[in-house]
Amino acid sequence: MKGSPRKSRRDDIRIAGDFSHRVTSVFSGQESRRDGIEPPDKPSLWDSIPSSPHSRPVPNTTPVVKTTPVVKTTGYSYAVPSGLILLILLATNVFAQSTATKLNVLNRIAAIPTRNDFAIIAAKIRIGVDTADAYRHLDTMLSRAYGDMFWMYGCAGLFYATQDVLRPDYKTKIRHACNHNTPYRGDTENHFLMYYGSLLLMSQAWPDLVDTEWFMGKSSREIYAESKEYLDHWIDETARFGTTEWSSPRYGYYYITCLAIMAEYTQDARLKHRFEMMLEYMLADYAADYLNGSYCGAHSRVGDDAVLDPRKAEINSYGQYFFEDSVTHLLPDLSFAAMTSFTCPKIIRQIATDRSQPYEQFSLKRGRQMIRYMDKWSASQNNLLSPSGERLGEGLDSTFHAPVYKYEYMTKDYCLGSMQGGIVQPIQQQSWSLVFNSDRSHNIITGLHPYVSAEELGMFFPEYPSFMLERIEQVKKGYTSEDKWYGGSPYERIYQDKNVLVALYDLPDSVKYHHVDVFIPWSAHPLDSTRSLDSNMQYEPDWRIFRFDSVRIGVYPLSSFRTMKEQYGLRIRMTNAHSGYIMYCESIGKSDTKSFITKLVHCNPIVDSSRVYSKSDNGATLNVSLRQKPKASWLFHSPFLESKKGSGVLTMRYKGEKRVLDFNR
């Protein structure tokens, strides 16, 4: 890590230079912008770690021109009157991470038994624990003749995080492995970020190597230029038009790790600054959907465990680290973040943890790029056409990405969130969820049509579709199961208005599975407990009512259904070709149990061509439009986050304070 010798947190706040694009901020309702290039003068963590005198980074010698008074806190400059500096020194904590948390995380990861994991090995070498064993495992990892992008970012992270204490012979081994082994680049957005980010850092480490010294036959300068070009393109495209692997509980973990590594060790000041902003962008996006350790709403790619138990998601490690400043879900890559000087701005932490007032958030993402069957991602254009044929939104963009219209209704007790349906990501999509603010496991309700098709695979992957379908279980176990709990369907349409969600399904005869499922966790206590759970009995449409901690839930299947007991909860299965369900949720403080049950069982839900409504009270309980027009011109629109599509500017707000990420400067 590069920077000046470690100072106290109070010493981190000091007068900084007046640069051509100063980053300015004013407290109590005024603005902070990330649109300038600042000197890389972040403090080092290593004075807090006992080690030899040789294990400290070389101090940064960038001169500081003391002109206009600016308060600087770990990479941000705040223009304030000089008389306020002392007050700010005493009262302001702009960032969320503590040194104690970083050291705690690093020591705990270093204490993990050594295995072939760059992050664990780096932690051990960094603080001098079990180094002999760590170097033995590093030998194993560097001896491979073939790797992939996951190998690359871990190797690059280890090299830079330990470069001042790493034995010289291992620097040579890393150089040889990186220069001569041919890694797999991958085919997804997170793969490309790992691949080109690693190449950028490693070509930066050895800038004068000629083309014969690299596995792809290009010189260091050519590799660096190509990597920089891709990464700049990815940042610009994401900041203007949205992510493609959006809101991923699994792969968001890798985005954050890679961005933290690149933001710390990239030497080019402009690019370093952009990586820092992009890391904040990803954390802000995550924070707005965060509820006490759970990632809420719809997801592009969710893992096997997290789909029914949100706290098991890989990204939750970073949620706890950046937002809670206390980590129980410890995963090894956190060591890379803990070995950087990056700290999460306090405003992002506040966005993640303040649920005192309910709010709605609209956001626009992009589906994965399609390469075949562009007309098959949604049988109804995913709410882009209403049932009566009215056009409601945009279709595929010029590069064949489907629009993803996300919506969340967040409260202190729960978050109900969804996207419009259809297939925008293969295999691992989760189209909606109701997540509870609870310390219990399996604090989620979700549902789907288990769609399985060679066309889905062929839509996104280049291999021959039927060949992929035959072999998919070898790489994505469970995809072909009729009982799976994640995956999109072209026959699914989802509508939501705050605490009410409607999902409609029209299944053709040609589809493999002709049922729709809803998951109810065992922790959801049935309030209509006199009703049986006989898996052999077919029930007619009626409300099933539950309570999960401080939330009451009503589930109304729109066709006949049966219930099935499973390991983690109850499966409600509807088998009609034209089916669906209504999800209604409410905090217990809104009414008593009797009133809640009475309201639902007497509301008489009706589905017509334009809306789903409660007939008995003329829409007072249920009134969800089937002609909802998405906020297609906004990447983010909520009380906390705002970004107009195409602007490249994200504005964060919290109680009068504002922080702006401007990717145009």
Tens of pLDDT, residue by residue over 275-310, are 999 999 999 999 999 999 999 999 999 999 999 999
Q: What percent of the chain has pLDDT over 90?
A: 76
The structure's pTM equals 0.86
Does 46 score more than 60 pLDDT?
A: no
Q: What is the pLDDT of residue 241?
A: 97
Contact 178, 202 (CB under 8 A): yes
Average pLDDT estimate for 567-591: 96
What pLDDT, on the 0 to 100 scale, is given for residue 392?
Answer: 53
Distance CA 578, CA 574 (A): 9
pLDDT for 640 beyond 90: yes
Every domain of the chain and the residues it spans = 368-401+421-629
Average pLDDT over residues 528-547: 80
Looking at residue 482, its pLDDT comes to 97
Dihedral sign computed on CA atoms, order 435, 290, 567, 300: positive
Q: What is the 3-state secondary structure (H, E, C) of 371-415?
A: CCCCCCCCCCCCCCECCCCCECCCCCCCCCCCEEEEEEEECCCEE
pLDDT at residue 586 above 60?
yes
Q: What is the pLDDT of residue 381?
A: 57
pLDDT band at 534 (very low <50, low <70, confident <90, very high): low
- Residue 329, pLDDT above cutoff 50: yes
Instruction: Using alpha carbons only, give the angle 223, 205, 173 rounded to the nearest 5 degrees.
Output: 105
What mean pLDDT comes out for the span 495-500?
Answer: 98
- pLDDT of res. 89: 31
Mean of the per-residue pLDDT values of the chain: 85
Residue 538 has pLDDT above 70, yes or no: yes
> Average pLDDT in the 397-419 region?
94
Q: Phi-psi bin for 292: left (phi > 0), alpha (psi -120 to 50), beta?
A: left
- Name every residue whose Cβ is closer than 8 Å to that of residue 549 and which is 6 or more positions away in sequence: 413, 436, 437, 438, 440, 523
Q: Is 622 helix (H, G, I), strand (E, B) or coil?
A: coil
Q: How confident is the model at residue 528 (pLDDT cuts 50, 70, 90)?
A: confident
Calpha distance 395→617 (Å, rounded): 36
| Mean pLDDT score, 70-82 | 33
pLDDT value for 87: 32
Query: What distance in Å separates the CA atoms of residue 126 and residue 49, rounded to the nearest whole number?
Result: 9
Confidence band (pLDDT; 50, 70, 90) for 75?
very low
**Residue 99 pLDDT level (bands cut at 50, 70, 90):** confident
Position 567 scores a pLDDT of 95
Given this model, what pLDDT does residue 47 score?
Answer: 43
Is residue 180 scored above 50 in pLDDT? Answer: yes
The encoded tokens of residue 10 equal 């109070």
Say how many C-beta atoms besides its own lie within 10 A of residue 240's C-beta: 17
Q: Please, which pLDDT band fits residue 41 given cuts at 50, 70 and 90?
A: very low
Q: Name, in order, each residue with C-beta under 8 angstroms of 212's C-beta and a sequence gap of 6 or more.
A: none
Tell me how far the alpha carbon of residue 268 is from its chain's centroid: 26
Q: Report whether pLDDT(533) > 80.
A: no
The predicted pLDDT at position 535 comes to 67
Q: Report d(CA 651, CA 634) in Å as an integer.
A: 12
Q: So what's the pLDDT on residue 390?
A: 53
Residues 247, 365: contact at Cβ < 8 Å? Answer: yes
Pick the range with the lowest mean pLDDT from 30-34, 269-273, 293-297, 567-571: 30-34
- What's the whole-number mean pLDDT along residues 89-94? 38
The pLDDT confidence band at residue 475, using thresholds 50, 70 and 90, is: confident
